[in-house]
Amino acid sequence: MRQTAFDNESGSQDEVRDSYIEMQNSSGIEINFKGIARRLEEKKNNIGRSGQSKSRIGTAIRERDELQELLKEAEAAYAKVAENQEKITQNQKKMKRIETENDYLSQESVVKRKKELLQSYEKINKLEKENNRLSKIIREDQIFEGYNYKNLEGLKATSNQIGRLSDQMDYIEKEMADATEHLKAIRQKEDSKRSSLAGHILENIAEDYENFKKDQTEVAAVDTKSNIIINIIATLVTLLGMGLVGLANMGLMGSSQGIENLSLTVGVTLAIVGVVGLSFGISATLKKRRILREKQLIPIQEEILAKYNVKDGPSFDSFYKKAVRNQKELEQMQNECELVIVQHSRHQAGYEVLFEQRRGIMRELEKKLAGYDVKNIADYEERCEKGQQLEELKIRFNGNLRLLENLLETVNGGKTDDGQSVWQKASPKSEELLMLGKEIARLEGENSALTDGIGLPVEIQETIKSLDAQIQAFDTEIKACNAALEVLEVIQIDSHLESAPELNKNIGKILETITQHYKGVKIDEAMKLKVVDPSGGDFKDAEQLSAGTMDQVHFAFRFGIGECISQEMPFILDEPFARYDKQRKTQALKLLSELSSKRQVILFTCDGDEENLLKASGAPYHKISL
């Protein structure tokens, strides 16, 4: 058993659980349930899950899927090859039939065949020269083999995306410039509006306008009170005179002519007097008003009018209305400015987002171009064209090679062993033979191109079967591990139920000896230790105790475990009493002294206190200084 200083709870419990599981069974064979379970879990993790691409089973599934796709391509290619091979066989049969027919032709065609032979030599020479030239070009252009138009389309799409982002940024820049110009125009209008008020603000203008109007109200009140009594009396006299005149004219004053004339005269006189009095009252009122204006209103109003450089009240009214109108327009301009500023800020934020997006895409494009060893898309496109030309040259080279082989075979077939040509066969259908030979060469070249780099379907199928078997074996192994883990869990629980009572008793006894306080303990199925509180009888987790008490609990735990596991296993401790007080350290050393008579006890310490206590108790020990 081993105990180290300042172990955390998790590490200590794991170590104790390992020791507890390593108990001997009745047959004497050691069983380490946790080690077996950990080995099974490691085995499962090593195999992995089907959804993990980097696991063994995931790799096998991925390889199988890739091979299935490759199998489809290979089957399609070899189906085309079989079709071409059938055509080749048919053409070869036609050629043999023609050659058989030529066997019966006359010897006169020998000269013609010699000419054809000469032409074949010329063609062979021409094809060899052309293939030498093509071979040189192919070697020089081999660097363009990896460039293709699919990657080119991807690069162009990325470039177009950058272009679209640039267009959006240009549009936003224009909008921002327009907003700035609009803002300048609004500021100029604001300055123009403020300058039209000669530096005055609306609050001061309104205050002066209110004072100006207040003086006008007082003048109007004076005007209303002036000579009102005279005007009323004059009006009544006029009405009375007009009434007498009316009565006299209607004959309502009696039958006497003298009375009527008198009434008429008096009425006319009263009417004239009333009109004269009314005219006098109005004239006096106007005169009084003029005097009041000259005496009271001019000093105040003239000062206000002079302040704002206007001539009279109506001009000041117009000036005030203009100031109010300007203020409203300034407020509208201010709101418009705020709106323009908000729009400008939004444009700026959008521009920054687009800028970052474009910069990221440009970096990605530059990285791709650097990977292709080109400076720009135009260079890559040029290399794609050269790569396409390279493929066309290869096809042409292979076709020439097949045709050359057929021509050599045809020419060599018309020679004797010593190399002298003796044409005994007429070949009037040489053109047809040549066409068939070209077709056969073309089909063979196509077959070679189809099968280049593609394995046989049978081999691919065998590999797929092997991978299926491997995947099935992985699944079976994982299921077996899971079943074994379930069995181990049941066995571990049964083992705990058998040994837990004895273990609780031993640990409680040792803990009471050390602490002189705690007496009982309980170990659950997870090997978690709980201590019985003497005061209430409740169970406490080890984590709820003090650091020193927790060390003592773990010491008792290991001591009790050792008693149950084996009498021969050594007991190893590394600074276990760092947080013990002297009394509990003494009790613990006495227990170790008693234990040393049964098994080997190894105590590592850098403090001399343990040695002094052992000497004081008379316990035997052997000291080794390191």
- Mean pLDDT throughout 70-89? 87
Look up residue 391 and give its two tokens. 């493929």
Task: Look up the pTM and report it.
Answer: 0.33
Burial of 188 (0-12, 13-18, 19+ CB in 10 A): exposed
> What integer best gives the mean pLDDT of the chain?
74
pLDDT at 200 over 60: yes
- Mean pLDDT throughout 591-606? 82
How confident is the model at residue 409, as a pLDDT? 76
Q: How confident is the model at residue 31 (pLDDT cuts 50, 70, 90)?
A: very low
| Residue matched to tokens 């475990």 | 561
- The more confidently predicted of residues 50 and 471 is 471
> 484-505 b/e with 16+ CB inside 10 Å = b?
ebeebeeebeebbeebbeebbe
- Mean pLDDT throughout 260-281? 73
Q: How confident is the model at residue 110 (pLDDT cuts 50, 70, 90)?
A: low
Alpha-carbon span 134 to 127, nearest angstrom:
10
| 530, β-bridge pairs | 522, 541
> Could you tell me if 436 and 95 are in contact, meaning their C-beta atoms sit under 8 angstroms apart?
yes
> 218-229 b/e with 16+ CB inside 10 Å = b?
eeeeeeeebbee
Most confident of 29-38, 146-155, 535-544: 146-155
DSSP letter string, 133-156: HHHHHHHHTGGGTT--HHHHHHHH
How confident is the model at residue 170, as a pLDDT? 92
Give the CATH architecture of domain 2-31+496-617: 3-Layer(aba) Sandwich (3.40)
End-to-end distance of the chain based on CA atoms, in angstroms? 21
- Mean pLDDT throughout 174-203? 81
**Residues above pLDDT 70, as percent of the chain:** 73
Nearest Cα to Cα of residue 120 among 399, 411, 405: 411
Cα 86 from chain centroid?
56
